[in-house]
């Protein structure tokens, strides 16, 4: 981030793919050696699909893929 920020500060996060925004609170701040600042946030209100990602139900067994046969050259 280019702006100064403090833990506990209210910020708004925008999903660039959907254009949706959500209110968040800063939880952590970490400065990297390259000069960048990384900010951890938590959502103020629960929004299960803000990032538009699907996750398996807890307890779901992993999908096992069969090894495909190698084609000979």
Q: Check residue 41 and give its pLDDT.
A: 94
**How many domains does the chain divide into?**
1
In a domain, 55, yes or no: no
Residue 64 within a domain:
no
3-state secondary structure the chain: CCCCCCCCCEEEEECCCCCCEEEEEEEEEEECCCCCEEEEEEECCCCCCCCCCCCCCCCCCCCCCCCCCCCCC
pLDDT, tens only, 2-54: 678 999 999 999 999 999 999 999 999 999 999 888 999 999 988 768 888 88
Question: Residue 66: inside a domain, yes or no?
Answer: no
Q: How many residues does the chain have?
A: 73
| 71 pLDDT more than 70 | no
Domain residue limits at 28: 10-43
Q: Is 28 inside a domain boundary?
A: yes
Check residue 68 and give its pLDDT.
66
The total of other beta-carbon atoms located within 10 Å of residue 12's CB is 10
């Amino acid at each position: 981030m280019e702006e100064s920020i403090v833990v506990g500060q209210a910020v708004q996060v925008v999903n660039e793919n959907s254009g949706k925004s959500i209110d968040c609170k800063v939880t952590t701040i970490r400065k990297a050696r390259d000069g960048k600042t990384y900010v951890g946030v938590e959502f103020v209100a629960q929004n299960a699909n803000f990032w538009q990602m699907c996750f398996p139900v807890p307890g779901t067994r992993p999908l096992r893929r069969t090894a495909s046969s190698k084609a000979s050259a």
